[in-house]
Amino acid sequence: MNYFVTAIGTDSGKTLVSSILVEALKADYWKPVQAGKPLDTETVKELVSNEITRFHPETHIFKLPASPHAAAKFEHLAIQLDDFVLPETTNDIVIEGAGGILVPINQEHYVIDIARELSAPVILVVNLYLGCINHTLLTVDYLKRNKIPVLGIVFNGESNFESENIIEEKSGYKVLLRLPKLSLINKEIIKYWADELMLNWYE
């Protein structure tokens, strides 16, 4: 099975969560669109311990750290939705998106359309900050209205019971993991949270 990791915005912790998922499932990893450095693929490589995971090359890498449509335009290029073809593998793939679900990849399509094109259900990363309830429920509304399957939510950041509770209640999505604000991120930390994720994965 393939999984599409997306979020309610930029810098939400998608790469961290992707690393945990890859380690937990011993899945392959693929970042279809990379805009700017550091390369998320290299970050995940440094954090994953298992020897089964393969890291597939990006479909597009752009120099400018910007929305994919703008980063492509900066290099006089254009992204097409049919550019994205699943890598050949017999393993599951964790696919990491760019930014939030409605970040444009061209004048017509958004990041979430990659998930739809690849028939990959979503894992939604919700980083906890003032305003995250509104941003999350707007994201959830779009996903539901467009009948995009969602496996669950990962909360990321300093715990806020009221925010988490209302998001869980209003979305109806399963909470896969509650990640605290991590001061240290290394292979051992990723392995620990991968084990925690697996406790919830089959419930």
In DSSP notation, 7-45 reads ESSTTSSHHHHHHHHHHHHT-EEE-SEEESSS-HHHHHH
Residues annotated within the binding site for ATP are: 11-16, 40, 96-99, 180-182
Compute the distance between CA of residue 27 and CA of residue 3 in angstroms, rounded to an integer: 10
Compute the distance between CA of residue 7 and CA of residue 72 in angstroms, rounded to an integer: 21
Compute the distance between CA of residue 152 and CA of residue 128 in angstroms, rounded to an integer: 16
Q: Do β-strands 2-7 and 55-56 pair in parallel, antiparallel, or remain unpaired?
A: unpaired
Question: Using an 8 Å Cβ cutoff, are 177 and 200 in contact?
Answer: yes
Residues acting as catalytic residues: 31
Compute the distance between CA of residue 28 and CA of residue 195 in angstroms, rounded to an integer: 17
How many whole angstroms from its chain centre is CA 128? 16
Q: What's the maximum distance between 2 C-alpha atoms anywhere in the chain?
A: 47
